[in-house]
Every structure is written in C-alpha cells, then in structure tokens.
C-alpha cells in the first residue's frame, strides 16, 4: 500500500507524510515547491517535483510507485490573496482537483482523502460549527474548496470513488523541528517573526463580544491533524464506512489575546501587543465540533495551547 501525498513538501503535507511513515505506510510526494520545501520531505521518501496541473506527471507517479490511494493537499491556500487572484485560485484548486481525479481514474486508484477547509462555511452564525452548518464561502479559496468536495461526490457517483474531506480550522504547532510553518499569512509565524525582528505583535480589534474582547478561533495541532489523515486513509483502504466530510475542530475556542499571552510565556519575551482596528469581515468567534471525527477518526486534542506554541517556537528557532 502506497499513498501519494500531493503538496507533501508543505507544512501540513510534510507532517502527514511523517505520520504515514510512522505507521509503516509507504508514501510518495508530488509537489511543485511553489510554497513547499524540498527539505521538509523525509529522506527515503520518493519525491516528484511536478504541478498538480500536470496530468501525465501524476499518471507516471501513480504507475511508477504503485499508488493505491491519494491524500490531496496541494493547492493555493491563501484565502485573502485569492480575492485578488481568483483565476489562479480556481486553476490550482479546481482544475488541479479535476486533473488529479482523471489521473487517479486512469491509474485505477479509487480512494482519496481531501484537504478541505473551514473556509467553506464563511462566517457562520452559530456558536459551534458542525458538518451540517450551511456553507457560505466568502472567498474564491473557500469556494474552490467547496467545489472540490462537490467534484469528489460527482466522481464517486460516476465511478464508485471512495473519499472523505477533512475541514481544517487553524492549524498550528510542529511535530518535528525539521518542519515549521513559513506562511506569511498565519498568526504564529507573524507573531514569531515580529518578536525575532524586535517588533511588537499586533491584534486586530479588542472590542469583540468575547471574554477578553479579541477574536476567538479554533486552533489545532498539526500532528493531531496528520494522525487523522492516516486513520481516514486506513478506513478507506479497509472498506470501512466514512462520512463525506469531517470537521477537525476542538469544540472550544482560544482568543487571540490568549495566544499572545502564551507566546510571551513560552518565548520568555515580554510584550504588550499593539491594538489595531478590526479587520473587515472578521467574526467574533468561529469554533467547530470534532465529534464525528472523534467517533470515526480517533480525532482528539492531544496537545495543550502551551505545547502548540512551544513546538512551533522550537521549530521556528531550529530553522534560523
């Protein structure tokens, strides 16, 4: 059994590869290195540098490595930037998915775990998001992820494809000092970079209807996320039933203010964050239940907030 991990040289993808390898399940990585890093791929794991839009390269990788399943993480993931680059976003995330599914059908690969997103929900009007919460994506990125889920459902009806989609919320931390979050848009790297450069981290709004006035979000550790991918793949391979989609959430939120205080404690760098105005469209709270994933995918929060921050900080420093 060998699983193709698209985007396996990225922050999340590299953790997924390590989780598969730890269970003795072979992987092969396809990544164009547009945002991933070759050094993130463990030694000994076959690596193919190719775009998700390159159908012949995908077909060749599937055939050469005897691929039996796919974890699909490759794509353009920046929700805010997607508003300025909608065509690029749809090309990478929608055309890319269609190209991958065609290559899978050509190679007789009948199971896939898809990296979806909480962005499919937009700004929910409920305190706790479930899988059945109405979908109202508010960016081309969120729309493209929802279309990806639709494509899987359509292909399943047509060919019997076995699939599940994992909707992530705020992924943080590190399971290896060799892999860190280098995104220019995510909270942890933004805060760490500011501290390392002698700048003061910033909070966008402190007058929300939350316990400390700052936005509440659902933060999950990347290693917990990776472990859920492995269980999902194992269930698909064993022919066990899975839901079409799972929310990977904590069921409990953490405020941006709490994050800042924990970062100060963990790093030993005392600071009072600057307070800026609210960002347009930022909801006060987005938190999801992970009950279905707990039932089927052994999903649980194995790391505290302190462990999330500490592991991310250690990985960031190891990269310096």
Question: Which of 11, 90, 141, 219 is an active site residue?
Answer: 141
- What is the model's pLDDT at position 75? 96
Q: Which of 289, 286, 279 is nearest to 248 (CA)?
A: 289
- What is the model's pLDDT at position 127? 85
- What residues contact residue 318 under an 8 Å CB cut-off, 6+ apart? 177, 178, 180
Active site annotation includes 141: yes
Q: What CA–CA distance (Å, rounded) separates 56 from 161? A: 20
- What is the model's pLDDT at position 123? 87
Which pLDDT tens digit goes with each residue over 228-285?
Answer: 999 999 999 999 999 999 999 999 999 999 999 999 999 999 999 999 999 877 888 8
Low-confidence spans in the chain with pLDDT less than 50: none
Domain with CATH 3.40.50.720 in the chain: 2-171+220-248
Q: Which of 187, 196, 183, 243 is nearest to 216 (CA)?
A: 187
- What is the model's pLDDT at position 179? 97
CATH number of 172-218+250-318: 3.90.25.10
Domain with CATH 3.90.25.10 in the chain: 172-218+250-318
- What is the model's pLDDT at position 151? 98
- What is the model's pLDDT at position 184? 85
- What is the model's pLDDT at position 36? 96
CATH number of 2-171+220-248: 3.40.50.720
What is the secondary structure of 236-291 as a DSSP string?
Answer: HHTT----SEEEE--SS-EEHHHHHHHHHHHH------EEEPPPTT--SB--B--H
């Amino acid at each position: 059994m060998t699983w193709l991990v698209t985007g396996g040289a990225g922050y999340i993808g590299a953790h997924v590869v390590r989780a598969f390898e730890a269970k003795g399940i072979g992987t092969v990585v396809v990544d164009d290195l547009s945002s991933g890093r070759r050094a993130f791929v463990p030694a000994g794991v076959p690596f193919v540098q190719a775009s998700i839009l390159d159908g012949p390269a995908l077909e060749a990788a599937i055939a050469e490595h005897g691929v039996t399943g796919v974890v699909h993480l490759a794509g353009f993931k920046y929700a805010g930037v997607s508003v300025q680059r909608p065509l690029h976003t749809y090309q990478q995330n929608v055309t890319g998915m269609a190209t991958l599914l065609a290559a899978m059908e050509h190679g007789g690969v009948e199971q896939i775990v898809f990296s979806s997103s909480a962005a499919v929900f937009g700004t929910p009007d409920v305190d706790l998001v479930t899988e059945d919460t109405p979908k109202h994506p508010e960016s081309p990125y969120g729309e493209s992820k929802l279309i990806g889920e639709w494509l899987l459902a359509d292909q399943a009806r047509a060919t019997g494809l076995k699939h599940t989609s994992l909707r992530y919320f705020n992924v943080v931390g590190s399971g290896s000092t060799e892999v860190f979050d280098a995104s220019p848009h995510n909270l942890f790297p933004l805060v760490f970079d500011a501290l390392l450069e002698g700048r003061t981290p910033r909070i966008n709004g402190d007058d929300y209807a939350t316990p400390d006035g700052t936005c509440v979000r659902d933060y999950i550790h990347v290693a917990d996320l990776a472990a859920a991918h492995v269980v999902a793949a194992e269930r698909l391979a064993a022919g066990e039933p899975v839901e079409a989609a799972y929310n990977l959430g904590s069921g409990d939120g953490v405020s941006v203010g709490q994050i800042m205080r924990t970062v100060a404690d963990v790093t030993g760098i005392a600071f009072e964050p600057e307070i800026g105005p609210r960002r347009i469209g930022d909801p006060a709270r987005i938190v999801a239940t992970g009950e279905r994933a707990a039932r089927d995918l052994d999903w649980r929060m194995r790391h505290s907030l302190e462990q999330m921050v500490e592991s991310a900080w250690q990985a960031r420093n190891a990269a310096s």
